[in-house]
Amino acid sequence: MIYLLRKDAFILSADTVKNYIMIFYEDSHKKIALILQNTSSKISFTIDIWTSSNNYFFLEITAYWVTEKNDEISNEEVGSLIRKLRTLVKKIKVSPQQKNKFKAQCKAANIPNLNVMLDVHTRWNSTYDMLVKVRKLKEPLNTLSNSDPTLRPFTINEKKWVHLLKIEELLKISELYKTLYAPQETQNTNIEYNSSDEDLVSHIFKWRCIELVSEFDRYLKADQAQALCDILNWWKVSLLF
């Protein structure tokens, strides 16, 4: 099929691709093992389990650690700084008065009125999303916390903002991973539960029958002229959306 679309395409044999993958795996395995044996940082593990649309089961184990090169602040300092930021965000979110003050500070700083965001431990990489949001709101957050006695203990100085930026950069790696490998979204079928004409079990079954949009289906639905230009490039780009 690829030759029909592009006669000058060079395709490696399956054995060659397999050999490249195994060589890369063995080399990476040795390097990572050596790094983990010599790191002074704590190692955090996350586990994810899912089933593909063709009923293959996958188990993913991810390890996070801080390398010596970037280990300028301790794990305890990172945890303390994140907790301090969470407390500041919580105090603004739960208080209507603080929300109004924060809105006024955003207006004074000529910044769009963006609501502060609090991370959720059940949402993948939401701490990264929180850090991105507060970085954009740095000026109104600092002004509000410095001017309010109840928020002053949670003011983040310039040095700590630099640390938050470094933490954000570290978490950005897992955010990219989420973008590339998160399960595809299901089609928007707008199925609503109506207790008058179906029971809950039937409703759940209906949702379970919704099939994921496969890569090949998206390719077939794509603009033909675009797809014929470079199928390999289309595949790489389309996998991100």
Give pLDDT tens digits for 139-178: 999 999 999 999 999 999 988 988 888 888 888 777 666 6
Long-range pairs, 107-111, Cβ under 8 A, ≥24: 108/140, 108/143, 109/139, 109/140, 109/143, 111/136, 111/137, 111/139, 111/140
* Helices 126-136, 138-147: inter-axial angle, 10-degree rounding: 80
**Amino acid at site 43:** I
What is the pLDDT at residue 233?
A: 59
What is the pLDDT at residue 236?
A: 52
66-88 average pLDDT score:
79
- Segment 34-64, tens digit of pLDDT: 777 777 778 888 898 989 888 888 988 888 8
Give the residue carrying structure tokens 């003011």. 155
Nearest-angstrom CA–CA distance, 126 and 28: 29
Tell me the range of 114-123, 176-185, 190-199 where mean pLDDT is highest.
Answer: 114-123
- Ramachandran quadrant class, 11 (left: phi over 0; alpha: psi -120 to 50; beta: rest): beta
pTM higher than 0.85: no
Residue 209 has pLDDT above 70, yes or no: no
Nearest-angstrom CA–CA distance, 114 and 49: 34
Domain ranges of the chain: 2-71, 75-180, 200-238
Percentage with pLDDT > 70 across the chain: 68
Q: What is the mean pLDDT of the chain?
A: 75
Higher pLDDT, 92 or 41: 92
Give the model's confidence band at 232: pLDDT under 50 very low, under 70 low, under 90 confident, else very high: low
Side-chain-facing half-sphere of 95: CA atoms under 13 Å: 15
Residue 231 has pLDDT above 60, yes or no: no
211-228 average pLDDT score:
51
Using CA atoms, how far residue 2 sits from 124, 161, 200, 224, in Å, is 37, 50, 47, 14
- Segment 93-126, tens digit of pLDDT: 999 999 999 999 998 988 886 788 888 877 777 8
User: Nearest to residue 137, comparing CAs of 108, 159, 166?
Assistant: 108
User: Nearest to residue 211, comparing CAs of 44, 54, 18, 73?
Assistant: 54
